[in-house]
Amino acid sequence: MEVRKAVFPVAGWGTRFLPATKAMPKEMFPIIDKPVIQFIVEECLDAGIENMVFVTGRHKRPIEHHFDINTDLEKHLENCGKTELLKNIMEISRLVNPIYIRQKEQLGLGHAVLVAEPVVGYEPFVVCLGDVIIRNEQNVISRMIEVYQRFGKSVIAVFEVEQKEVSKYGVIDGRHIEKDIYIIDDLIEKPKPEEAPSRLAIVGRYLFTPRIFDKLKVTPPGKGGEVQLTDAIKLLLEDEAVYAIKIDARVYDTGTPIGYLQTLIEFALQREDTRDGMMRFLRGLKIELSEV
Ligand code: UTP
């Protein structure tokens, strides 16, 4: 079956970024001049997915505006002759078919995915965390779709982290099958480093068979009283195989202040129009820091 839809659970509180996230979604924070969520939407478009289901909350309206057509702005840019900017603004709102659905209560990531069920229907779908940007040689979603097409089962992207970092992530206990593919035996949410079954951490890209909805419906609230997606995947494992693909990627978690800052600096160093200015600034800082 074709994978046609991506779900973005973007209804969370973003407490690690308060007070900035009181009225502004963290998914709209700019990485220089592009909001985080646009990078992830572009990743889906590159993988051939146009239908994007955003599970939103009451302070997430800017996401809707961002992917909408703004005719006044387009006319203004046209009148000023800013054709490059105009092309850029027009493109994203025309390529994406956004569908918005409210998660009325923030009952957890698993619950947010379940809220998308009436829109997704009984077909395989992708879930993308809206604050994680991934840079990989091959598009990660395309690779997940390839593996899904081969096995017909759910696929989760993982990446290798240092042992001391495992407690920040969901970690898989899996068996290597071939190349980048693993079959998952178990998942452990935020294990202590000494108890982690592997260093393969879940990265924020999932491809699910619709069976996950049946499991989410019977997943009791877990850690923090929230319905955890990881718990539902554990239930799914009782019924069908779940695969993992190991990606060798740069992963940018923009949902924390330090992760966001690191992303900004790295992207500024990679972009032609900002690289020199940022280098000069960092070199200047180096002198100041060495004097501290
Ligand atoms: P996080 O654990 O990052 O939570 O959720 P959060 O609320 O966004 O941020 P903090 O931890 O309070 O700082 C993982 C993803 O699940 C979504 C979030 O928007 C985020 O993308 N989510 C979480 C929901 O959509 N609904 C929820 O009820 C909880």
pLDDT confidence of residue 150: 96
Mutate to test the pocket of ligand 1, among 109, 127, 128, 256 (most ligand atoms within 8 A of CB): 109
Q: Are residues 237 and 274 both part of a single domain?
A: no
Closest-CA residue, ligand 1 atom 10, reads 14
Mutate to test the pocket of ligand 1, among 7, 13, 227, 260 (most ligand atoms within 8 A of CB): 13
| Higher pLDDT among residues 93 and 63, named by residue | 63
Q: Are residues 187 and 277 both part of a single domain?
A: no
Q: Are residues 78 and 197 both part of a single domain?
A: yes
Residue 111 CA, closest ligand 1 atom number = 28
Which structural domain, as residue segments, surrounds residue 266? 256-292
**Which residues, at least 6 apart from 102, have a Cβ–Cβ distance to it below 8 Å?**
11, 55, 56, 57, 58, 115
How many Cα atoms sit within 13 Å of 161 on the Cβ side?
A: 23
Residues with CB under 6 A from ligand 1: 9-16, 55, 103, 106-109, 111-112, 129-131, 255
pLDDT confidence of residue 235: 97
| Tens digit of each residue's pLDDT (9 = 90 or more) over 210-244 | 999 999 999 999 888 899 999 999 999 999 999 99
Question: Which of 86-95, 212-221, 280-289 is predicted most confidently?
Answer: 212-221
Q: Are residues 54 and 114 both part of a single domain?
A: yes
What type of residue is 193?
P
* Of the listed ranges 58-62, 249-253, 269-273, 274-278, the one predicted with least confidence: 58-62
Residue 220: strand, helix, or coil: coil
From the CA of 12, how far away is ligand 1's center (Å)?
A: 4
What type of residue is 207?
L
pLDDT confidence of residue 59: 84
Torsion-angle region of residue 124: left (phi > 0), alpha (psi -120 to 50) or beta?
beta
Residue 70 pLDDT > 60, yes or no? yes
Instruction: Give the Cα separation of 66 and 127 in Å (integer).
Output: 20
| pLDDT above 90 coverage of the chain, percent | 87
Provide the β-strand partners of residue 135.
Answer: 250
pLDDT confidence of residue 208: 98
| Tens digit of each residue's pLDDT (9 = 90 or more) over 25-62 | 999 999 999 999 999 999 999 999 989 999 999 888 99
**Domain count within the chain:** 2
Q: Are residues 272 and 238 both part of a single domain?
A: no
Give me the CATH number covering residue 151: 3.90.550.10
Closest-CA residue, ligand 1 atom 9, reads 14
Could you tell me the CA-to-CA distances from 243 to 23, 125, 157, 171, 290 in Å, in that order? 38, 15, 9, 13, 48
pTM: 0.94
Residues in the chain: 292
Neighbours of 262 (CB within 10 A): 14
Q: Are residues 147 and 54 both part of a single domain?
A: yes
From the CA of 70, how far away is ligand 1's center (Å)?
A: 28
pLDDT confidence of residue 178: 94
Instruction: Give the Cα separation of 99 and 96 in Å (integer).
Output: 9
* Of the listed ranges 87-96, 109-118, 158-167, the one predicted with least confidence: 87-96
From the CA of 278, how far away is ligand 1's center (Å)?
A: 31
| Tens digit of each residue's pLDDT (9 = 90 or more) over 177-212 | 999 999 999 999 899 999 999 999 999 999 999 999
**Which residues, at least 6 apart from 290, have a Cβ–Cβ distance to it below 8 Å?**
none
Q: Are residues 279 and 165 both part of a single domain?
A: no
